[in-house]
């Protein structure tokens, strides 16, 4: 039964949006990353992302990582400037050992900006982090 399924709290796994220089185009781009700041490998990582507001919605994007090693990170996707102005939602599901974990990370509209930059764990870059 659904009520019998226990999904534990996600700890030490984050989503960050980092501003990085695009080498070829010499532009400052926003890129979303998943960060595993735990001591265990994440397996079968599924990420579903979308941007939305009251009148607009981006197509849903789906991403898969077979594994994300302990104390590492991986790029999820590039975010266009128009998408940064929307609410950006990342639903992350993964296995740690034999246990299923699930969490939704939400960047509210216009919170991805240069004034909100902070140091992102493991990456030693500045970005906007949702825990």
CB 83 within 8 A of CB 106: no
Half-sphere exposure at residue 62, Cβ-oriented, CA atoms within 13 angstroms: 3
Query: Looking at residue 29, what is its pLDDT?
Result: 93
Mean pLDDT of 3-19: 89
Q: Which residue has the tokens 């902070």?
A: 118
User: What's phi and psi for 35, nearest 5 deg?
Assistant: -120, 125
Task: Please determine, for residue 23, whether its predicted confidence score (pLDDT) is greater than 90.
Answer: no
Query: Looking at residue 1, what is its pLDDT?
Result: 59
Q: Which residues pair with 129 in a beta bridge?
A: 16
Q: Using 50, 70 and 90 to split pLDDT, how confident is the model at 28?
A: confident
Mean pLDDT of 116-125: 92
Q: Is the pTM of this model over 0.85?
A: yes
Mean pLDDT of 2-16: 87
């Amino acid at each position: 039964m659904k009520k019998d399924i226990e999904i534990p709290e996600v700890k030490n796994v984050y989503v960050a949006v980092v501003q990085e220089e695009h080498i070829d185009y010499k532009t400052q781009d926003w890129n979303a990353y998943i960060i595993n700041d735990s001591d265990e490998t994440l397996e079968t990582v599924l990420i579903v992302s979308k941007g939305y507001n009251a009148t607009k919605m981006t197509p849903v994007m789906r991403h898969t990582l077979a594994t994300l090693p302990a104390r590492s990170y991986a790029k999820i996707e590039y975010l266009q400037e128009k998408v940064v102005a929307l609410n950006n939602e990342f639903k992350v599901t993964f296995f740690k050992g034999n246990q299923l974990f699930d969490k939704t990370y939400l960047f509210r509209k216009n919170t991805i900006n240069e004034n909100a930059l902070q140091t992102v764990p493991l990456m030693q870059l500045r970005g906007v982090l949702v825990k």
